[in-house]
Amino acid sequence: MANQERNVVSASTTAAKLPDGVIDLDALGPSDLVDGCRVFTHYNGPTDQLSGLCAGMCVLEPGSSPHPPHRHPEEEFLIIARTEALIAGLGHDEALRRARAYGSAGADMVLVHSKQKTPIEIERFAAAWDGDPPLVVIPTAYPQLNEARMKEIGGIGMVIYGNHGIRATVKAMRDVFAQIARSGHAMDVASSIASVEDVFAIQEMDRINAEERRFVR
């Protein structure tokens, strides 16, 4: 059995290997309640690839906080809190109030969005922003907001071009297949599209093939 210290479960290397099948939640006996938290261990033991793997979940009692807020140096999560106050028509002040609350709660960045056709609403918000987290904007409806203007206003740390990639892909596919339909073959488009090798490189097929040779039996 894995050693447990408060709500920490260490990976076991001596248990039976992970079985096939489905484990019912009622069969997972929870740990004792510690600081308002119960630990449910779904599996703890070795696998074909790992000497020890612990998987499970923690369930918090309402209002409980098992430890003070803190960060780990190895964290790779970026928490972006999004306010829809401007989209919902609740106004500038409400958007700021919500964004400040998200910043106070520990959000790494705050995303503010607008459906207006000009960036005036977003520019006003960014100019008034006095919180610590950088802002995130999505200039889909207002593409005239450029990088130079963002730097001038300040406070904006990330820009998401939310659907430009899929829109470019749709147009490119239409153009390619229209050309194939006109010419009756694919020779005319071969030089203007990605090679099969490019696709395989994106998919990391060399790594996938190597892992198949290693693990697939």
pLDDT for 66: 67
pLDDT for 1: 38
Among 149, 72, 78, smallest CA distance to 111 is for 78
Positions in the chain short of pLDDT 50: 1-5
pLDDT for 13: 81
Kindly list the domain boundaries of the chain, sorted by start residue: 4-60, 80-159, 164-215
Parallel/antiparallel/unpaired status of strands 4-5 and 8-9: antiparallel
pTM more than 0.75: no
pLDDT for 184: 95
pLDDT for 166: 95
Can you give the three-state secondary structure of 110-139, one letter per residue?
A: EEECCCCCCCHHHHHHHHHCCCCCCEEECC
Check residue 76 and report its DSSP letter: -
194-201: long-range pairs with CB below 8 Å, 24+: none
| Amino acid, res. 41 | T
pLDDT for 114: 94
Task: Determine phi and psi for 190, rounding to 5 degrees.
Answer: -60, -35
Question: Measured between alpha carbons, how far is residue 30 from residues 25, 58, 61, 65, 72 in Å?
Answer: 10, 9, 13, 18, 26
CB-CB contact of 156 with 143 (8 Å): no
Distance CA 195, CA 123 (A): 42
Q: Give, rounded to a whole angstrom, the gap between the first and last alpha carbons of the chain.
A: 30
Distance CA 51, CA 140 (A): 48
pLDDT for 102: 94
CB-CB contact of 6 with 35 (8 Å): yes
